[in-house]
Structure 1
């Protein structure tokens, strides 16, 4: 889960990667409350001002960000802040990533309706819900049992039947369902976890922040080809550590 994105992204030669600044998360709107104000209006403003203006263009990603009720993935006392351009605490020293970084990482994964995705770091379940809007199946690992249980409950209450959450060690991945078309990691390991690359399908993408400390992390976008792994981007970021 991202604590804070400092600096800014620089445009790369890869057309799927958009340049932009990072901000922080806003309050999300509830499942069936998509039509209800003020959250629907806040979500639309979030997409328009935080995501579109920073270069995210995939229409499926934009629609998912408009649809998923982000405020239901934050503590009740923070719902009025759920759509702000910043991360928010969700307990146990963890955070929900800012909306822009969720959209950026999702777009970078290049998902199709048939994709099978592994997420490392479920947190509140918000990123998993966004992925579930775009992919056929999402498997999500969370180290902290209370967060895993709460996320599974929230996702189930919102009707996401294509997400499975499990408490477990993200470094080991989830080999039973490999290979994955995309793997997203929402906490920063000190070095690239090779077991996750092993579980990535040829043609798939691994989106992962890597770095020993929050001052020296880079978000890597890695594309696995028949000839090997090609790096599509590396951007300065600041995530909570992966433990």
Structure 2
């Protein structure tokens, strides 16, 4: 999975507590500072949802779903109804980013346009697609099974743009979930890594990228608390998609100089969770900013066992 991917460039709730996860609050945290608007970018060519360089048709959708071990059958009318809802969702994303961040990054919008979100809507233990709900408005998280959830698309757009991804970046996601966030990043960055702690979910989602030709995504099953230390050069972007009680030291250690990280911090299944945005300057100093409120399912594993005052960047 190391061949050159097709990437974008600046040139040219349903019966589960997990379904409440990853929903950004509509109010900023008390001491949140507005994020500066991104610098104007060169216009992008229109990028239709054509995974693997092929037209995204009902047949292509069903073929990719079957190849990933999730067969589904739709009529032409059902597929066309799903596609007809996407433009309104894209407008909602653009409007939300403009409201929150002053402007919508064309790279983020083009990456969303390129991805078929309906492909990621799947409840794994039930072997059931929820593709018809992919572009629902208002957007909301959807359960994947095993206590995990697909975050709503406004929250995913916000987290992505805050991290300012670029074509030379390498990203790390903690909490693969549906695979949508890592796929989104992969359309922009050079290489995307993702870790999922829930073994049956991680093993199943590992199979979904190849049918779309997304060959710059590397995933594994494991505890994301210690990040991905084998990636010796570190990461330009780290996105944590589960609520941590504190930011794991290993993630700071693996953040490159100039790197950016966004992580929800707060107590499990309680109100008061907040996004924190971290950056590392060229001297290795970490800078932090408290951002807006959010609600995510908790980071499990080591995070639940080690208090903040005993946390280390590497296992003892």
Q: TM-score range by the shorter chain?
A: 0.7 to 0.9
Alignment partner of 1:208 out of 263, 275, 278: 263
Q: What is the aligned partner in structure 1 of residue 162 from structure 2?
A: 108
> Greater CA deviation, 68-77 or 137-146?
68-77
Task: Give yes or no for contact 1:33–1:69 (8 Å, CA) kept in 2.
Answer: no
Shift of residue 230, structure 1, vs aligned partner: 1.6
Task: Give yes or no for contact 1:87–1:96 (8 Å, CA) kept in 2.
Answer: yes
Cα distance in 2 for partners of 1:9, 1:161 equals 37
Shift of residue 13, structure 1, vs aligned partner: 4.2
Shift of residue 40, structure 1, vs aligned partner: 3.1
Number of equivalences: 231
Q: CA 1:185 to 1:231, structure 2 compared with 1: closer, same or farther past 3 Å?
A: same
Task: Give yes or no for contact 1:71–1:80 (8 Å, CA) kept in 2.
Answer: yes
| Bigger Rg, structure 1 or 2 | 2
Q: Decide which structure has greater strand share.
A: 1
Task: Give yes or no for contact 1:211–1:218 (8 Å, CA) kept in 2.
Answer: yes
Shift of residue 42, structure 1, vs aligned partner: 1.9
Q: What is the aligned partner in structure 2 of residue 217 from structure 1?
A: 273
Cα distance in 1 for partners of 2:240, 2:213 equals 24
Alignment partner of 1:181 out of 236, 259, 267: 236
Aligned alpha-carbon RMSD (Å): 2.1
Which structure 2 residue ranges, 5 or more long, are not aligned? 1-17, 39-48, 59-79, 99-103, 123-127, 301-316
Alignment partner of 2:105 out of 58, 71, 81: 58
Q: What is the aligned partner in structure 2 of residue 240 from structure 1?
A: 297
> Greater CA deviation, 226-235 or 2-11?
2-11
Cα distance in 2 for partners of 1:223, 1:3 equals 22
Indicate yes or no: 2:86 matched with 1:43.
yes
Shift of residue 109, structure 1, vs aligned partner: 1.0
Task: Give yes or no for contact 1:217–1:238 (8 Å, CA) kept in 2.
Answer: yes
Task: Give yes or no for contact 1:182–1:205 (8 Å, CA) kept in 2.
Answer: yes
Q: CA 1:122 to 1:217, structure 2 compared with 1: closer, same or farther past 3 Å?
A: same
Task: Give yes or no for contact 1:70–1:82 (8 Å, CA) kept in 2.
Answer: yes
Task: Give yes or no for contact 2:50–2:114 (8 Å, CA) kept in 1.
Answer: no
Alignment partner of 2:189 out of 135, 160, 165: 135
Shift of residue 5, structure 1, vs aligned partner: 3.0
Q: TM-score, normalised by structure 1?
A: 0.88
Alignment partner of 1:122 out of 163, 167, 176: 176
Q: What is the aligned partner in structure 2 of residue 8 from structure 1?
A: 27
Kindly provide the CA deviation profile for residues 161-195 of structure 1, in whole angstroms up to 9, marking residues without a partner as x: 00001001110100111410010000011111111
Alignment partner of 1:88 out of 142, 167, 172: 142
Cα distance in 1 for partners of 2:249, 2:83 equals 41
Shift of residue 3, structure 1, vs aligned partner: 4.0
Shift of residue 35, structure 1, vs aligned partner: 6.0
> Greater CA deviation, 84-93 or 33-42?
33-42
Task: Give yes or no for contact 1:204–1:224 (8 Å, CA) kept in 2.
Answer: yes
Cα distance in 2 for partners of 1:4, 1:174 equals 26
Q: What is the aligned partner in structure 1 of residue 310 from structure 2?
A: none
Cα distance in 2 for partners of 1:90, 1:33 equals 27
> Greater CA deviation, 231-240 or 175-184?
231-240
